[in-house]
Amino acid sequence: MSACSSIPALSQATATPTTTPTPTAVPLKTLVVCLGDEPTSLYLYGNASQSMWSVLESLYDGPFDTVNYQPQAVIMEEVPTQENGDVTLQSASVSAGDLVANTEGDPVALAKGVTVFPEGCTSADCAVTWDGESELKLSQMVVHFKIKSGVTWSDGQPLTADDSVYSYEVAADASTTASKSLVQRTASYAAQDAQTTVWTGIPGYLTLNPSAFFWTPLPKHQLSQYAIKDLATTDAATKDPLGWGPYKIDEWVSGDHIRMVKNPNYFRASEGLPNFDVIDYRFLGNVPQADLSPILTGECDIIDTSVSLSDQVSTIRSLELQNKLKGYYAQGPEWMGINFGIKPSSYDDIFNPYLDRADFFGDARTRQAVADCIDRDTIVHSLIFSLGDVPDTYLPANHPYYVSGLTAYPFDQAAGEALLDQVGWKDTDGDPSTPRVAVGIPTVPDGTPFAITLTASTSQLNTYIADEMTKDLGKCGVQLSTNLVQEGDLYAAGPDGVAFGRNFDLALLGWTSGRQNPCFLYETSEIPSAANDWLGTKFGGVNLTGYSNSEYDTACQAYLTAGLDQEAATTANQQAMTILANDLPVIPLYYQVKVMVSRPDLCGLTLDASSRSGLKDIEKLDISSSCSQ
């Protein structure tokens, strides 16, 4: 060998056998994912965090992924539906006191006056209100979930239906602190065979999202030796859990990193997946949350959404143009809105226009005028740098219940001023530096200045928004002051809290929406007041604006009680959203932006706001120069 040519020749007498050099080991193909913080646990029913789910994507592939708010089967044969026969309805006899679901899906004890779906009925038009005496049979949903064959745990043991049933038993146990919402709507959950679980809902409960009732498997063969109450503190469940995904845990060095290695038993290994040998999850720790240097220096291949990068969009987009990184953006489901204090709590007893706060926003035209006068386009594009249009609804465009063509309020101060004049807010002195005053408005004393206050939590972002709104509204003759408070004070319970006590003129508040439309946010029954202990009737008193419209309430209830009638749900949703866009109790300002960055030559990464993590396709990620911009 040429490598040995410089070694002096040895005499025959002293020569010793030569050895063949050991080939140089091929470096392991490693992907470094940087997290904003270290997960406190990887226990499925522990304290969930974004960093936890980023790691669990390597351990748990599915069982269902969520794309544009819709489930996609991963380790399951298919998404269960009535069309494919996996969702069926049966009849269940019930009597007084039995646990059933009303038409809104709430678990209740059957009693006189409860409205339910009788057998054969799956929509509101055939629902009945029980008289307390008649024989009653209800529709009962049954769902079959089929796990793909060949899926195993990383230790080689088969993943079976029993593992999902065991997970259900853990979730249902009183010592498990996770939400019991799904458990409470379950009559039974059992294994039919090694690959099939069967979920049976409580009588009367109907859902358009049956996939939610498959419990993510836990390894029964490993964890059943422990008491369920001890799992939250057991390393086998929290620090070194088994999974069936593309990787398995190799080591966890507290305060530094979690090292994952390729799972040889991954059910997609025959496809050549995953593409990396090692995933190294590093905790950025003391690195400032918005610092992009780790991606630029090569310390990180990905900085995921557990790091707050939303205020770095401008810098990220500039670096993208230089091909120094890739940016990934998604909007929602969290959103920020300008809420009108239509009916302050001081109006609840007897409204006195001379003693109570002026009725600034009782007329929808005034609310529309305020929307016209605010240059939301400039505000939003300054915040998220043209990543999306100004929203006309609180649901993002990829949401299944998004409604297009709603009344929009583009920046038009002339239109806003015209509406204010119509209502009776007049510029009586011709001085643009002074606010308009009330003239001939039935519920506002003449001469009352249009001077209001915006309340928001203390932040640099909200200061910017308030300043822009102050300038814009001032040009329309509306005097705006700003009251920045601590978030705890803003969201404190009524009657003293600003939002839940309905003690504001305008309030900048954030909400979120899931797979369903939270139309209850503006139902009359959800106005917090002393009469309902400031909790509304069901959802916690979330209608902070005091908005009330019986037609909207009817449409929202029709949506919430549509059962399995998708057409009825869609129609009712469209009616509710149309009314809301016209009445405008809240001005949608922007959707929260989720941001993730990677090295420029990374392939296969996407970001979906409805997914639990931006790393749902981690097994497919790869490096290629063809993926560089």
- Taking CA atoms, 523 is separated from 373, 469, 557, in Å, by 27, 27, 9
- Would you say 44 and 50 are in contact if contact means Cβ atoms under 8 Å apart? no
SS3 state at 303: strand
Domain 70-234: CATH superfamily is: Dipeptide-binding Protein; Domain 1 (3.90.76.10)
Q: Which residues pair with 23 in a beta bridge?
A: none
Q: Which of 561, 592, 591 is nearest to 576 (CA)?
A: 561
- Would you say 250 and 260 are in contact if contact means Cβ atoms under 8 Å apart? yes
Annotated domain spans of the chain: 30-61+245-325+599-627, 70-234, 334-592
Q: Which of 274, 148, 157, 122 is nearest to 214 (CA)?
A: 148
Rounded to the nearest 10°, the torsion over CA 28, 29, 32, 33 is: -120
349-379: pLDDT as tens digits: 889 988 899 999 999 999 999 999 999 999 9
SS3 state at 124: helix
- Would you say 439 and 468 are in contact if contact means Cβ atoms under 8 Å apart? no
SS3 state at 466: helix
Please determine whether the domains at 70-234 and 334-592 fall in the same fold group of CATH.
Answer: no
In this prediction, residues 471-486 reach a mean pLDDT of 98
Q: Which residues contact 580 (CB under 8 A, 6 or more apart)?
A: 393, 519, 522, 552
The listed CATH number (3.40.190.10, 3.90.1150.10, 3.40.710.10, 3.40.1160.10) that belongs to domain 30-61+245-325+599-627: 3.40.190.10
Rounded to the nearest 10°, the torsion over CA 71, 47, 605, 387 is: 90
232-291: pLDDT as tens digits: 999 999 999 999 999 999 999 999 999 999 999 999 999 999 999 999 999 997 655 568
CA–CA dist 136, 92 (Å, integer) = 8
Mean pLDDT of all residues belonging to the chain: 93
Q: What pTM, to 2 d.p., does this model score?
A: 0.90
* DSSP code, position 27: P
Q: Which of 272, 364, 292 is nearest to 584 (CA)?
A: 364
387-443: pLDDT as tens digits: 667 898 999 999 999 999 999 999 999 999 999 999 999 999 999 899 999 999 999
CA–CA dist 247, 263 (Å, integer) = 5
The listed CATH number (3.20.20.70, 3.40.50.300, 3.10.105.10, 3.20.20.140) that belongs to domain 334-592: 3.10.105.10
Residue that wins the pLDDT comparison between 161 and 26: 161
Task: Quickly state the pLDDT bin for 312 (edges 50, 70, 90).
Answer: confident
Q: Which residues contact 325 (CB under 8 A, 6 or more apart)?
A: 292, 295, 296, 316, 319, 597, 598, 599, 600
- Taking CA atoms, 357 is separated from 96, 349, 477, in Å, by 48, 13, 19
Asked whether residue 331 carries a pLDDT value surpassing 60, the answer given is yes
CA 626 vs. chain centroid, Å, equals 33
CA–CA dist 426, 169 (Å, integer) = 65
